[in-house]
Amino acid sequence: MWGKLAVTLLFVSGIAAKTCDLRYYQHYEHKGCTPVAGEDGCPVRYQCPTDLEDVRLKCLHNNEWYRIDEGIRQHCESCTCKGDSVEGAYIDCAAVDCPDWQTKNKSCYMGYDPDACCPREMCHQTKEKACNYNGRDYKIGQIIRTEDPCEDCICTEKGPHCKKVNCLTGIYAPRIREGCLSIYGEKSCCLSQLHCGEIEGAKPVSSQPENTENLCQYRGVYYEKGSIATLPSKSGVECNCVVPPDFTCIRKRRN
């Protein structure tokens, strides 16, 4: 749905998203973690506090913190920071209820105006193609699929109109803070699922390490950087220890 998501995180704690692909590390911010950059300026690991009291009673969205019961600015959705002292804070949203999804005139089609939350009936000439992207023609109001999963585009009379996606990762905040693994789609922009169960394949560190900076940790067990784990209850997901202390879990796209 066009407009359900609006503007992306351009920076994650001072690291520019233009130079680093930060899609798979959004969950770290909800635990109050800060990135440690490598030579290329991209995060090689995160430093996470052991005490989460500073963040557990607040919601994070679009680089802004909100208190419980405070309304959250989100285009096309009504969102609030909810929670209590036991569960902690999380984001709760209700999407805009669009009145129409089908055309009344068979010669028309449903399309979006720039910044609109809901589609409307459009009756431009069916042969009118206002935009061309990657060899494909689009009519005014149609959604344009680009290679960037964090970009939403529609066709307008002036050409493609694009906005960056703003992920509502905060809806998962309590389970993120509990240490569940965040799962991201390989070709998606936002966190899509969590895993709190067992992992397989990765070999734990044999002895209690003195320095854990470059180790991944899950459910109290440490794993060497470079370890690969799978999730027995979720096929197609691979978890790699590449940016500790959390595994980076990605659901591979099926061809």
Place of tokens 């609030």: 80
The pLDDT tens digits for 106-157 are 888 999 998 899 999 998 665 567 899 999 999 999 999 898 999 999 999 8
The pLDDT tens digits for 67-112 are 999 999 888 899 999 999 999 999 999 988 888 788 888 888 999 9
Alpha-carbon distances of 10 from 15, 26, 123, 153, 208, rounded to whole Å: 8, 12, 36, 17, 38
Report the alpha-carbon distance of residue 117 to residue 137 in Å, rounded: 23
Q: Is the pLDDT of residue 178 over 60?
A: yes
Average pLDDT over all residues of the chain: 87
56, amino acid identity: R
